[in-house]
Amino acid sequence: MARFRCGACGRKGECEYDGDRHGCPLCGSAEVVFALAIEEVPDELLAALSSLETDDEERDED
């Protein structure tokens, strides 16, 4: 289960997280934010996030 909060309809709750669906379960808006429990995040996604952080350090944003 994942918690979500929707910026469009203003509702929040819990739903079954579906990695293929990124819209609000209630209204379908893309303004929804999902808060996954860390245990539910696949290892490959954590690895991807880690590599993003590394990539960010290498970027020169001056």
Residues of this chain that interact with Zn ion (CB under 5 A) are 6, 8-9, 24, 26-27, 29
Nearest distance from C-beta of residue 34 to Zn ion, angstroms: 12
User: Judged by CB, which is closer to Zn ion: 33, or 41?
Assistant: 33
Stretch (H or E) spanning 44: helix 43-58
Q: Which residues pair with 12 in a beta bridge?
A: 5
Nearest distance from C-beta of residue 19 to Zn ion, angstroms: 19
Nearest distance from C-beta of residue 49 to Zn ion, angstroms: 25
Biggest CA–CA distance in the chain, Å, is: 41
User: Judged by CB, which is closer to Zn ion: 8, or 36?
Assistant: 8
| CA atoms lying within 13 Å on the CB side of residue 27 | 15
